[in-house]
Structure 1
Amino acid sequence: MLDAAVTVFARRGYQAASMDEIALAAGVSKPLVYVYLNSKDELFTACIRREAQAVKAAVRAAVEPGAPPDRQLWNGLLGFFEHTAAHHDGWTLLHSQARTVGAPSAHEVAAMRQEMADFVTLLIGAAARDAGCDLDHSLATAEVSALAHALIGAAESLAGWAPTAPRAFTGRDAAATLMNLTWSGLHQLLGGQRWRPQGG
């Protein structure tokens, strides 16, 4: 039933999707849908919760605890992009639909994003400490968190774009693209090479 609901919500949108359509896609009667979930809102929230948990589980399963920070980030990104590519409807639901429907689903997505941002913050912090950077300074700590949130936003955007790419763009391609953009730049940043606008 949740599989059918995810597909219908992702492809039709929350407003256009009907419980009749979801019941038909699931091969069950409409009253049976209401036996398990009392309303369309509850069904949508259950779908969001399940898909968010699946994304987090995919990232956790991909990461090698104890590996160098760049390896952990690479594996986490690879797990994320391979999962979103294999579960496009689920990712569409999380990325495009959940934020427009209401508080319960938006909270689920926000919690998922925060958990991933916390993980990336730890990895960037570990890389900074390995490079001899002092993270006790409040600005440095805020900058690490800002970089982590920027990376999460970029990953989400890239996962949404990849299916529409002009050529086949695999999860591995996406992970490599983002690693080249962020980790190469991070190495320059940690080495003291900062970009500054001309004149100040």
Structure 2
Amino acid sequence: MHNARLLRSSLSLLLLAGVAGGTLGCKPKAVRGGPGTENPNLDKGAMSTTLDREDIKYLVDENLAAMFSSPFWGRDVQGGPEAPIVAIWPIKNSTDQHIDDQMLTLLSEIETQMINSGAVNVVSRERQAEMVAEAQLQNSDLFNPATAAQLGAQLGAKYYITGKITSTDERFDKERRVQYSLFLQVIEVETSMIKFQHTSERSKAIVR
């Protein structure tokens, strides 16, 4: 009887140790991803229906590829006597999501690609922010075409880029799909004429 109790106690201890070991083994850990790591495709997978860096890069790439191959770019930008000055105005968030960090990433991606094109001179967004502060403008004023044209002229810009990002959210049973659209325009400061516009789209979904 005594031996049987000892055997049961030993088995219980082994089971508890196994459970504890399994719990510790499932503890989350940090991993590094990207080129040159053990997880080169870590950033490729979607974790939610919210915009991530891959989505932003795709939306910007599609729009700017269309811009760089457009008649406007070939004729008015590359065909001019000198590289024009371009201001990158805020992109309006017309979704129902709080994506301030994503919007900053989007603007930075546009700025980087415009600078690296070598065909235009880009006004720094820091200088634009200074002028907005000096003029004591509100955020809503930044999307007013008259205000944008006035500040663009003060910055010496020939064109300014603006636009908006929208989303359509659909749900059915336990599934969800969000369709994003990035709409960009290039507007000539002096005339307020639209010289180029394009829309790129991206969908994300959660399926069961």
TM-score between the two structures when normalised by the length of structure 2 = 0.31
Which structure would you say has the larger Rg? Answer: 2
TM-score (norm 1): 0.32
Name the structure where strand makes up a greater proportion of residues.
Answer: 2
The structure carrying a bigger helix percent of its residues is 1
